[in-house]
Amino acid sequence: RWTTSSIVEDTVAAIREQVGDRRAICALSGGVDSAVAAALVQRAIGDQLTCVFVDHGLLRAGERAQVERDFVAATGVRLVVVDAVDRFLGELAGVADPEEKRKIVGREFIRTFEQAARDSQAEAGEAGEQVDFLVQGTLYPDVVESGGGSGASTIKSHHNVGGLPEDLQFGLVEPLRALFKDEVRRVGLELGLPETIVHRQPFPGPGLAIRIIGEVTAQRLETLRAADSIAREELTAAGLDRDIWQCPVVLLADVQSVGVQGDGRTYGHPVVLRPVSSEDAMTADWTRLPYEVLERVSTRITNEVPEINRVTVDVTSKPPGTIEWE
Ligand code: XMP
What is the 3-state secondary structure of 97-122? CHHHHHHHHHHHHHHHHHHHHHHHHH
* Residue 37 contacts residue 175 (beta carbons within 8 Å): yes
Phi, psi of 296 (to 5 degrees): -65, -45
How many Å lie between the centroid of ligand 1 and the Cα of residue 298? 25
The pLDDT value recorded for residue 315 is 98
What span, in angstroms and rounded, lies between the C-alpha atoms of 40 and 137? 10
pLDDT of the chain, 326 residues: tens digit per residue = 679 999 999 999 999 999 999 999 999 999 999 999 999 999 999 999 999 999 999 999 999 999 999 999 999 999 999 999 999 999 999 999 999 999 999 999 999 999 999 999 898 889 888 889 999 999 998 888 766 444 444 577 766 655 677 777 899 999 999 999 999 999 999 999 999 999 999 999 999 999 999 999 999 999 999 999 999 999 999 999 989 999 999 999 999 999 998 789 999 999 999 999 999 999 999 999 999 999 999 999 999 999 999 999 999 999 999 999 99
What distance in Å separates the CA atoms of residue 92 and residue 172, rounded to the nearest whole number?
31
Pocket test for ligand 1, best of 138, 150, 156, 200 (most atoms within 8 A of CB): 156
What is the pLDDT at residue 1? 62
- CA count, 13 A, side-chain hemisphere, 150: 13
Rg (CA), the chain: 21
Query: Which spans in 164-290 are helix H?
Result: 181-190, 195-198, 218-237
Give the Å distance between the CA of 115 and the centre of ligand 1: 26
Measured in Å, residue 206 CA sits from the centre of ligand 1 at: 9
Ligand 1 binding residues, C-beta < 6 A: 156, 158-160, 202, 204-206, 246, 281, 318, 322-324
Binding-site members for ATP are 29-35
Q: What is the pTM of this model?
A: 0.93
> 197 φ, ψ to 5°?
-85, -45
The minimum-distance atom of ligand 1 relative to the CA of 155 is: 3
Cis bond before residue 319 (omega within 30° of 0)? yes
Question: Which structural domains are found in the chain, ordered by start?
Answer: 4-198 (3.40.50.620), 212-313 (3.30.300.10)
Q: Please give the helix or strand (H or E) that residue 36 lies within, else none.
A: helix 32-45
User: What pLDDT was estimated at residue 163?
Assistant: 65
> What is the DSSP code (8-state) at residue 59?
S
> What is the structure's pLDDT at 148?
47
Residue 161: which of 31, 39, 45, 249 has the closest Cα? 31
Q: How far is the CA of 324 from the centre of ligand 1 (A)?
A: 7
